[in-house]
Amino acid sequence: MSILVVAEQSNGSVKKATYAALTAAREIATATGLPIHFFAFGPGAANAGAELATYGGASVLVADDASLQNALAAPAGAAIAAAAKDSGASWVLMASTTTGKDVLPRAAARLGGGLASDIVEVRASGAHVAFVRPMFAGNVLATVEIDTPVKLVTVRTSDFATAGPTGGASPVTTSASAVDAAKAAAGKARFVSFDSSGGDRPELTEADVVVSGGRGLKSAENFKSIMEPLADAFRAAIGASRAAVDSGYAPNDYQVGQTGKVVAPNLYIAVAISGAIQHLAGMKNSKIIVSINKDADAPIFQISDYGLVADAFKAVPEFAAAVKAAKG
Amino acid sequence: MKILVTTKRVTDPGTKIKLKADGSGIAADGVEFKPNPFCENAIEAAISLRDQHGGEVIVVSIGPDEADQTIRSAVAMGCNRAIRIDGNDGGLDGDLVARALAKLAESEQPDVFILGKQAVDGDSNQVGQLMAEYLGWPQATFASAITVTNGGKSAQVAREVDGGIETVEVDFPAVITADLRLNEPRFASLPNIMKAKRTAIEVKTLADLGVETTLKVRTTRFEAPPGRQAGKKVADVADLVQKLRNEAKVL
Ligand SMILES: Cc1cc2nc3c(=O)[nH]c(=O)nc-3n(C[C@H](O)[C@H](O)[C@H](O)COP(=O)(O)OP(=O)(O)OC[C@H]3O[C@@H](n4cnc5c(N)ncnc54)[C@H](O)[C@@H]3O)c2cc1C
Ligand SMILES: Nc1ncnc2c1ncn2[C@@H]1O[C@H](COP(=O)(O)O)[C@@H](O)[C@H]1O
């Protein structure tokens, strides 16, 4: 029996989210005494494997194969299931990114294992491990038990620290069975294109400061002219409410909330966002919350450390300038 | 084109959830139920694909008798046939739902099976993916646009993923899960609502489908999350900056 951490990597560099899943894995390892293995897949996996080898695992399995390019769900799920068998895994963890959510269930079905999605806590009592996960847009924390021999979880990265390397060098080996399984499962889906919403701002889920704009900004031009200087002043990532995304003010992957990204930065600044429960689900664990809204009764103020009742069009440029001056 | 689509009866996402005092579940009194919003996007997509390409849409839900009302609202939107798989909400997990839906797909043999990306009660986001694997079908999750390609043999699907929009092409039969920006679900007209009331719902049991009912994942306790204290209102921008620097120490 062992624990398998499935890494996410692109072009050989491991995504930071993986190391939040590793923290959860280390908690399971502490409770159960089981060793941790890693699995990296797709072109570049061998290089990613070299990095993972310094994180104290018993081994690193890799499947560096073209059939796993773009992490299409069927081949990726098949490869993960094969790697889990190879490493004798009784626990399989992956970060709850859109890739993790897309592919890990397919591995679960192959392994006949129960899957708990988006866990926020590992709750161990002795060697027995249960998980806590939010339900109902974060209104409920549920304790879940997985009853199958192989147990799978996706890990909400904002609730686990980023694990660090331990030094040393675990052996890195290619999992031939993972490559074979991926090849056999490939073919019915094809990657067509990727349209990046990119920019050079910090990743929303990793940023120290997040500034989010809502429907009150009223247009894409306003969203840009109000939110970008504020983000620049804080070197922050930009987020948005669903209403702002639906209205086309911001790209889809800026959405923070129940059905978008979950963030927990040191500082979260909500601008012209009312504070619907589905939005709070994605940001209420931020350390300091600031909100700027012209309606003194906006629900967002009930969870904010600092609330400013003001017109965003006037207050935010002033705020950005003051922060820029303060930061020098 | 034959399309299967799901609907799920969930607690109204607009109402406050209350827990039973002993933490064993959700307090049911005064709770309103609605169709899962993501399922409404799935149904809208199914109906408009049928309207463009011909064929039929069959809506299915797994739930108790009360789910019939949820199914009827899908029929009122324009689904052709309706099936309920009898199941108690407390006796299901994502895997059991996926295996039951996979059995139905094997007998109905649709070209496309469209589900919501997640149910807003459990927020699990796994049924469509599990089912796709049980069927050995390709999947396109978190869809924000669907275009049928290759003369009706496949579809290109735009997917809302971290970092942007990915487009994949999946060969039929395929599983697609709907994100909220896929479309604007239509409102049913009064005549269609009346008609839906008379539509027969075919009821199947898990035993009829030959589905093993042991759960893989059990929820053993429900707790309220820790609350967050409201802080203070600041007077103006200068006051905010001063407090962020001296009190919160984030400047
Ligand atoms: C199934 C489901 C899932 C959802 N998932 C999400 C999700 O993941 N994330 C999410 O955010 N939402 C989500 N929602 C939507 C959510 O319920 C709200 O509709 C949404 O969050 C509202 O966005 P908003 O606060 O920007 O808009 P509004 O609620 O319209 O609020 C706009 C605010 O701007 C203020 N304002 C207006 N003008 C100004 C000004 N000049 N200066 C200052 N303030 C001003 C107003 O006072 C108001 O408070 C979901 C809903 C459903 C049903
Ligand atoms: N009991 C159910 N009946 C019908 N469809 C369901 C049921 N449970 C889940 N689904 C479908 O599966 C999707 C994903 O659900 P989940 O994985 O539970 O978040 C939902 O959006 C529904 O389309």
Q: What is the pLDDT of residues A49-73, one digit of tens each?
A: 999 999 999 999 999 999 999 999 9
Q: Which residues of B touch A319 (CB under 8 A)?
A: 237, 240-241
For residue A76, which amino acid is it? A
Q: Is A262 exposed, middle or buried (0-12, 13-18, 19+ CB in 10 A)?
A: buried
Q: Do A327 and B251 touch (CB under 8 A)?
A: yes
- Per-residue pLDDT band for A290 (boundaries 50, 70, 90) equals very high
ipTM metric? 0.97
* pLDDT on residue B14: 86
Q: Is A255 in the pocket of ligand 1 (CB under 6 A)?
A: yes
Nearest to B161 among A98, A258, A315 (CB): A98
Please name the member of B123, B168, B250 whose beta carbon is closest to the beta carbon of A118: B123
Pairing label, strands A237-240, A209-213: parallel
CA–CA dist A78, A144 (Å, integer): 25
Tokens 């990613």 sit on residue: A48
- B165 pLDDT band, cuts 50/70/90, is very high
What's the CA-to-centroid distance between A61 and ligand 2, angstroms? 33
pLDDT > 90? residue A237: yes
- What is the pLDDT averaged over residues A86-95? 98
Tell me the CB-side half-sphere exposure of residue B214, using CA atoms within 13 A. 7
Q: Is B39 in the pocket of ligand 2 (CB under 6 A)?
A: yes
Does the pLDDT value for residue A82 go beyond 90? yes
Inspect the interface and report whether the beta carbons of B234 and A135 lie closer than 8 Å.
no
Structurally, what CATH architecture does the domain formed by B2-246 represent?
3-Layer(aba) Sandwich (3.40)
> Residue B89: which pLDDT band, with cuts at 50, 70 and 90?
confident
Using only C-alpha atoms, chain A has a radius of gyration, in whole angstroms, of: 21
Q: Which helix (H) or strand (E) segment is B73 a member of? A: helix B67-77
- For residue A308, the CA-to-ligand 1 centroid distance in Å is 17
Residue A323 · residue B248 · CB < 8 Å: no
Residue A198 has pLDDT above 80, yes or no: no
Q: Which residue in the set B16, B168, B244 is minimally distant from A192, CB to CB?
A: B168
Is the pTM here over 0.95, yes or no?
yes
Region A167-191: what's the mean pLDDT?
97
**Residue B30 pLDDT exceeds 90:** no
CA distance A45 to B81: 47
What is each CA distance from A223 to A83, A245, A249, in whole angstroms?
45, 10, 6
Q: Is B174 close to ligand 2, i.e. is its CB under 6 Å away?
A: no
Nearest CA to ligand 2 atom 12: B127
pLDDT value of residue B38: 98
Look at residues A45, A60, A37, A58 and name the one whose alpha carbon lies nearest to residue A15: A45
Confidence of residue B164 (pLDDT cuts 50, 70, 90): very high
Q: What is the pLDDT of residues B181-239, one digit of tens each?
A: 999 999 999 999 999 999 999 999 999 999 999 999 999 999 999 988 888 999 999 99
Listing from the earlier edge strand, what are the strands of the sheet with A267-271? Answer: A237-240, A209-213, A267-271, A288-293, A306-309, B232-234
